[in-house]
Amino acid sequence: MVFLGRPREPGLVQARDAGPWERWSLAALAAACVLLGLLPVPVLRALEPVAALLVGEGIGAPLEGGWLFLAPVSAQRASYSPLLFLAVIAAAIAGAWLLVRHAWRGCTRLADPWDCGFPAQTARMQDSAEGFGQPVKQIFEPFFRIEREVPDPFDEAPRYAARTSDRLWHWLYLPVAAAVARLSSLLAPLQHGRMHLYLVYSFATLLFLLLVIRA
């Protein structure tokens, strides 16, 4: 769907890449993730006052290794540096690239892309967004209400459908809405739009208020 995907719907053939502003917004989020991964200690120190206000205790031990080293347990037992880890990975990749360039003299081989063993892919073989999102839904399934319609392997016209909703919506909001609807249905006969009924309601209300005031 992202790299070698074929659209399943005809209307998606006209789809184009994201615009500059969309790319910049995603790039900013990616840069924030990279910065958080490379410099976790300054970020945790900035969040420590917030944690102290919420739970009454700071982060403590993870910040004992200085700004370069993060100590999950304590600085004496275990600590690591994301910047040094990145430097080692970058050096290993650069060394492997130089070794390959030196051994193979920069030869480049051209081949067809991997097609899962099928000589010609169609839109039917393409993974959809549901296929990419299914693992995430499986992980968070206890928090969601998921209704699936899975076809039989021998179904001539297979149809797969999945509906995801919030459990709190069914547990909390829908019962409240149903109770309000029942109460409204009970009060609905009082509203017939006839003037003499409203006058009777007003007269009964005045009598009740006079009785309360005299009591």
Within a domain: 91? yes
Is the per-residue pLDDT at 1 higher than 50? no
The total domain count for the chain is 1
Cα separation, 31 vs 59, in Å, equals 25
pLDDT at 77 (0 to 100): 66
Q: Is the pLDDT of residue 4 over 60?
A: no
In this predicted structure, what is the pLDDT of residue 65?
Answer: 65
Residue 34 lies in a domain: yes
Sign of CA dihedral 51, 52, 56, 62: positive
Residue 171 placed within a domain:
no
pLDDT computed for residue 64 by the predictor: 66
pLDDT at site 179: 94
Q: What is the pLDDT of residue 150?
A: 80
Output DSSP code: residue 171.
I
Secondary element (H or E) of residue 89 = helix 82-104
Q: How many CA atoms lie within 13 A of 153 on its CB side?
A: 0
Element (H, E) at 163: strand 161-166
57 by DSSP, 3-state: which? coil
Long-range interactions of 89-93: CB distance < 8 A, separation 24+: none
Tokens of 58: 């700071």
Assess whether pLDDT exceeds 50 at residue 165.
yes
Helix H or strand E encompassing 147: strand 144-149
DSSP state of 156: S
d(CA 37, CA 181): 51
Q: Is residue 79 part of a domain?
A: yes
Per-residue model confidence as pLDDT tens digits over 36-47: 888 888 888 888
Contacts of 72 (CB under 8 A, 6+ apart): 61, 62, 78, 79
Assess contact for 160 and 181: CB atoms under 8 A: no
Q: What is the mean pLDDT of the chain?
A: 79
199 in a structural domain: no
**What are 14-56's pLDDT values in tens digits?**
777 788 898 999 999 999 999 888 888 888 888 888 888 888 7
Residue 73, pLDDT score: 63
What is the mean predicted confidence (pLDDT) over 60-78?
Answer: 68
Mean pLDDT of 117-142: 74
Quick one: pLDDT at residue 28? 94
- Residues 35 and 86: their CA atoms lie apart, in Å, by 12
Q: Is 126 or 214 the better-scoring residue by pLDDT?
A: 214
- With respect to residue 110, please indicate whether it lies within any of the assigned structural domains: no
CB 13 within 8 A of CB 7: yes
Residue of higher predicted confidence among 28 and 168: 28
The band of 176, judged by pLDDT with boundaries at 50, 70 and 90, is: very high
Domain of 96 in residue numbering reads as 23-103
Q: Looking at the predicted structure, is the pLDDT value of residue 89 above 80?
A: yes
Whether 211 is covered by a domain: the verdict is: no
| Domain presence at residue 18 | no
- Of the pLDDT bands very low, low, confident and very high (cuts 50, 70, 90), residue 198 is confident
